[in-house]
């Protein structure tokens, strides 16, 4: 006995461990062996009960392979007992060996045709393997045997819908309705089926049944109006909406539907009147109003009428929801799009006042402050944002940039260095950190660090025009690595030609290299391209003429630089002494 059980267990372990167990079957008894439990001797009954008990115990413990082996032993002992087939079928189902689950469930049903759970599980497994006809057949038998079991009707109808047998599904729902009466669930399901069959009249009748059974439930009238509206029966839909408003003048959904109705007919004033009533209803959730305004945002950019409506709705939103940050955020978005930047900033700040946890709004405020070059407020707000979002690199960046503008280079360097280490998967932002660290370290005369950061920025963005220009210019001022400076500046002018500041930088590098004729040509080009209001360019041109021993021309350009203003500290001395100082 022990040897035989061991072999059976080993076989079943292999069975459940296989990835393709299609050919493996439960041990089948001889057709001659039709033993039932009643046919067993007392000793055999005790052995059977012991094995069956242990099988259930192992199943409860989650030892499904052992349990299956033991249930298989029960089948070998008493082939006509259905329960072990049922239990082993459930284990096969758990192991996703669906065909074997199906065969064993079927055997359990054949051995006990009256057991509800055997047949129900068999129907479930049949459905699982895609044998829907067999599943429906079994559910119908279950209905015959258990006519008061309501869930079975739902199961049959659901499967009939699944295979597209809509007419049969309707019959099943009719049987169910005869059992339990008119319900919302059944009527709405039947309505959907009739819509699939393109029988709108029948679909409408189902909704009308709900209305007749509960005339005070306005929601059902809305369903009927929706049905008509979706099927191009606008007038019937409109009539129902009017009936709804007679009973419930504040019905928001109806006003929304009428808004769509009037817009489709081109009656803009009536449409806007409906949507205003929606926004004036403070009980209507703000998120839905936000969705409406977002649709306005995408549609109104080139439509002055819609734009006007959007701004009026924004103001109503704020009136009805003055304590919600969303009201001010969406209004600020509209203002920003229309270049009303100060107004946008004011509303973003109001939103922050109500809800300071909104990262995106803080970012937008600082972008606006950068655009307005309002570095005092950027300094204040970026520091506040850092306290709330200490791991967000963008706020370190804004705080660093603000300190650069305030000429607090040490503070800028400290925070830019910290912030760059928080950048993840954003090479553009990281390049901006490196570029600004290049600028700030140059100001602090940490030239080696400055050059390292510029090079890192260019590794990420080789065509960053500002880095190319600033790096090359600072190298020229120090008269260091001028070949590299010339290469960088030449690339800047290639990427953005006819830009006087970049041309001036390139000319100054040539000047530092002693290429005075070429430098003069580039400076003259810079003046022609709009640099005629730039004192530095004229002063540089004067310096070049001085190097070419043309002091008269040098003085002429130095004087022009002085007239414009903002020349170098040596400009006055050059003019007074008629001599080049560097």
Q: Write down all domains in the chain, each with its CATH number in brackets.
A: 359-440 (1.25.40.10), 463-582 (1.25.40.10)
Is pLDDT of 359 > 50? yes
**Mean pLDDT of all residues in 549-555:** 94
Question: In Å, how far from its chain's centre is CA 119?
Answer: 45
Q: Which positions ≥6 away from 136 have C-beta within 8 Å?
A: 156, 159, 160
pLDDT tens figures, 393-414: 999 999 999 999 999 999 999 9
Q: What is the radius of gyration, based on Cα positions, of the chain?
A: 42
* Predicted TM-score (pTM) of this structure: 0.67
Give the burial class of 548: count Cβ atoms within 10 A of its Cβ; 0-12 exposed, 13-18 middle, 19 or more buried.
middle
- The residue among 184, 240, 236, 242 whose CA lies nearest residue 209 is 184
- The residue among 78, 77, 76, 100 whose CA lies nearest residue 88 is 100
Mean pLDDT (the chain, rounded):
89
Q: Residues 62-71, buried b or exposed e (16+ Cβ, 10 A)? A: eebbbbbbbb
Is pLDDT of 17 > 70? no
> How far is Cα 51 from Cα 282, in angstroms, rounded to an integer?
69
Query: For 348-368, what is the HEC assignment?
Result: HHHHHHHCCCCHHHHHHHHHH
Query: For 271-306, what is the HEC assignment?
Result: HHHHHHHHHCCCCCCHHHHHHHHHHHHHHCCCCHHH
- The residue among 160, 188, 159, 186 whose CA lies nearest residue 173 is 186
Contact indicator for 492, 502 with CB cutoff of 8 Å:
yes
pLDDT tens figures, 305-346: 999 999 999 999 999 999 999 999 999 999 999 999 999 999
| Two tokens, residue 538 | 């004229």
Q: Which positions ≥6 away from 307 have C-beta within 8 Å?
A: 300, 301, 338
> How far is Cα 263 from Cα 271, in angstroms, rounded to an integer?
6
Q: State the Cα angle at 581 between 576 and 582, rounded to 5°.
A: 150
Contact indicator for 467, 448 with CB cutoff of 8 Å:
no
| Two tokens, residue 256 | 């929304």
- Within 10 Å of residue 303's Cβ, how many Cβ atoms? 12
**Mean pLDDT of all residues in 116-133:** 91
| Two tokens, residue 213 | 């059974």
pLDDT tens figures, 445-504: 999 999 999 999 999 999 999 999 999 999 999 999 999 999 999 999 999 999 999 999
- Within 10 Å of residue 279's Cβ, how many Cβ atoms? 23
Q: Which of the given ranges, 98-102, 111-115, 142-146, 416-420, has the highest pLDDT on average? A: 416-420
Q: DSSP string of 515-561?
A: -HHHHHHHHHHHHHTTGGG-HHHHHHHHHHHHHTT-HHHHHHHHHHH
Q: Which positions ≥6 away from 64 have C-beta within 8 Å?
A: 16, 58, 91, 94, 95
Q: To the nearest 10°, the Cα dihedral for 332, 337, 340, 342?
A: 50
């Amino acid at each position: 006995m022990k040897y035989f059980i061991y072999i059976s267990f080993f076989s079943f372990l292999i069975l459940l461990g296989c990835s393709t167990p299609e050919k493996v079957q439960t041990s089948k008894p001889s057709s001659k062996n039709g033993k039932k439990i009643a046919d067993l001797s007392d000793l055999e009954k005790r052995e059977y009960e012991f094995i069956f008990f242990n099988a259930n115990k192992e199943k409860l413990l989650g030892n499904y392979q052992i349990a299956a082996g033991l249930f298989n032993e029960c089948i070998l002992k008493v082939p006509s007992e259905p329960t072990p087939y049922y239990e082993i079928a459930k284990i096969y189902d758990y192991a996703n060996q669906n065909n074997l689950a199906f065969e064993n469930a079927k055997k359990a049903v054949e051995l006990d045709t009256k057991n509800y759970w055997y047949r129900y599980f068999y129907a479930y497994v049949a459905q699982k393997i895609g044998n829907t006809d067999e599943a429906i057949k079994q559910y119908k038998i279950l209905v015959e045997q258990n006519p008061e079991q309501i869930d079975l009707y739902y199961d049959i109808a659901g499967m009939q819908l699944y295979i597209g047998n809509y007419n049969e599904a309707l019959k099943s729902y009719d049987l169910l309705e005869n059992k339990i009466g008119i319900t919302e669930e059944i009527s709405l399901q039947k309505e959907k089926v009739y819509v699939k069959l393109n029988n709108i009249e029948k679909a409408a009748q189902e909704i009308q049944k709900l209305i007749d059974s509960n005339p005070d439930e306005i929601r059902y009238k809305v369903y009927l109006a929706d049905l008509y509206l979706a099927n191009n029966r606008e007038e019937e839909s409109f009539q129902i909406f009017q009936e709804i408003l007679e009973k419930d003048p504040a019905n928001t959904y109806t006003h929304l539907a009428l808004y769509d109705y009037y817009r489709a007919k081109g009656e803009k004033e009536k449409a806007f009147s409906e949507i205003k009533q929606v926004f004036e209803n403070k009980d209507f959730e703000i998120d839905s109003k936000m969705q409406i305004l977002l649709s306005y945002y995408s549609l109104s950019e080139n439509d002055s009428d819609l734009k006007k409506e959007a701004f009026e709705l924004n103001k109503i939103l704020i009136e009805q929801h003055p304590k919600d940050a969303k009201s001010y955020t969406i209004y600020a978005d509209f203002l920003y799009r229309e270049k009303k930047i100060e107004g946008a900033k004011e509303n973003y700040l109001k939103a922050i006042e109500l809800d300071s946890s909104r990262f995106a709004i803080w970012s937008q405020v600082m972008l606006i402050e950068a655009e307005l070059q309002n570095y005092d407020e950027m300094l204040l707000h970026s520091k506040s944002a850092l306290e709330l979002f200490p791991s967000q690199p963008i706020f370190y960046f804004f705080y660093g940039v603000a300190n650069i503008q305030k000429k607090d280079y040490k503070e800028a360097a400290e925070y830019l260095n910290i912030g760059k280490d928080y950048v993840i998967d954003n090479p553009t932002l990281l390049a901006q950190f490196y570029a600004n660290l290049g600028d700030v370290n140059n100001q602090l005369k940490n030239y080696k660090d400055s050059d390292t950061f510029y090079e890192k920025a260019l590794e990420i963005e080789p065509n960053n025009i500002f880095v190319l220009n600033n790096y090359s210019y600072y190298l020229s001022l120090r008269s260091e690595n001028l070949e590299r400076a010339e290469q960088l500046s030449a690339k800047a002018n290639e990427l953005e030609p006819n830009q006087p500041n970049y041309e001036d930088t390139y000319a100054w590098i040539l000047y530092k290299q002693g290429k005075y004729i070429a430098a003069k040509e580039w400076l003259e080009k810079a003046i022609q391209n709009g640099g005629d209001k730039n004192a530095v360019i004229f002063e540089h041109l004067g310096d070049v003429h001085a190097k070419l021993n043309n002091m008269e021309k040098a003085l002429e350009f130095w004087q022009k630089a002085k007239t414009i203003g903002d020349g170098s500290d040596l400009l006055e001395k050059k003019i007074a002494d008629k001599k080049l100082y560097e």
